Amino acid sequence: MHSKDQICHEDYQRTASWLLSHTEHRPKVAIICGSGLGMLADALKCQDSFPYSDIPGFPQSTVQGHAGRLVFGELKGKTCVCMQGRFHMYEGHSLSKTTFPVRVFKLLGVETLVVTNAAGSLADSYQVGDIMIIKDHINVLGLAGLNPLNGPNDDKFGPRFPPMSCVYDKDLRKMAFDLCKSMGVTQFVQEGVYCMVGGPNFETVAEARLLHRLGVDAVGMSTAPEVVVASHCGMRVFGLSLITNKVVKSYDDGEPVNHEAVLEVSKLRSQTLQSLVTELVSQMDINNNTA
Ligand SMILES: O=P(O)(O)O[C@H]1O[C@H](CO)[C@@H](O)[C@H]1O
Ligand SMILES: Nc1nc2[nH]cnc2c(=O)[nH]1
């Protein structure tokens, strides 16, 4: 590594080579599990699992509900790699560290990234427990100049100025919605705009009202940097937010949120999310070359 924050191509390669020499799985799909959503990895068959502390170059998870384990395996015959725990900037990681695994996945041969998160809703029509298919995002940190792509561009991954106008794959969104129909769960499925803020504090009422007026449907403290990096290196992206709470927009009522409540709601929808992600991956058009 060059400096504390600068990660060079060889750093990603070193981690990718280590993983390739420790598992025979050759994933085409990567799944990032949000807060309390680590059970998505439980559906993987023929697992090879690595604590982040064993993987050279990998950051460590510090947040409750993020186990800190990388799991390789098969979902209905499709080879996947699953992050049981992601990295957030508020933990003290640089944005390039929070997105480090995404570029490693690219070097492993991953073509599609599935991101999941726990989020608070701003949209009045959303209920706690709803699943939101992410249509687009607002990267508040990115707009303010905090972008994982800052610094010298690594042309081996992608261009200096990547477009971001069609990041969340339309076909995968439609496929997910159709799956929700066949699963009979459309009454709690939404499609909307996710906004990433820095955290770790939850929103003030004034901030919540601002985000609401900006057209944000759900807010969280992750996902956008991973998606920007994945899109930069040409990956197809699909995202789901689980609505774990309603963001308080009134000075007179509303329940203040806490992380324990977020984890509780995650448990509530774990089975549905697991089935949805499993079916989606199984229907994806991917070239499943095994080593
Ligand atoms: O985005 P994920 O990792 O799901 O976690 C969400 O839940 C935590 C707050 O409860 C924050 O980290 C927020 O971003
Ligand atoms: N910023 C933010 N992140 C969350 N993660 C889960 N719920 C919330 C929320 O209400 N706000």
pLDDT greater than 90 at residue 287: no
Please indicate whether residue 247, judged by its CB atom, sits closer than 6 Å to ligand 2: yes
Known catalytic membership, residue 212: no
Ligand 2 binding pocket mutation candidate from 202, 216, 269 (most atoms within 8 A of CB): 202
Q: Which of 259, 270, 275, 282 is catalytic?
A: 259
Give the long-range contacts of residues 85-88, CB within 8 A, separation 24 or more: 85/33, 85/38, 85/52, 85/61, 86/32, 86/33, 86/34, 86/61, 86/222, 86/226, 87/59, 87/61, 88/63, 88/199, 88/200, 88/221, 88/222
Give pLDDT tens digits for 180-208. Answer: 999 999 999 999 999 999 999 999 999 99
Query: Which of 26-35, 239-248, 256-265 has the least mean pLDDT?
Result: 256-265
Residue 191 annotated to the active site: no
> In the predicted model, what is the mean pLDDT of residues 236-241?
98
Across the range 128-143, mean pLDDT stands at 97
Residue of the nearest CA to atom 5 in ligand 1?
35
For the chain, give the mean pLDDT: 94
Q: Is the peptide bond before 200 cis (omega within 30 degrees of 0)?
A: yes
pLDDT at 288: 55
Please state the pTM of the whole predicted model. 0.96
221 is annotated as an active-site residue? yes
CB-ligand 1 contact for 118 (6 Å cutoff): yes
pLDDT band at residue 46 using 50, 70 and 90 as cut-offs: very high
CATH 3.40.50.1580 matches 22-283: yes
Contact between 246 and 254 (Cβ < 8 Å): yes
- What residue segments make up the domains of the chain, in order of their start? 22-283
Phi, psi of 94 (to 5 degrees): -70, 160
pLDDT in tens, 70-110: 999 999 999 999 999 999 999 999 999 999 999 999 999 99
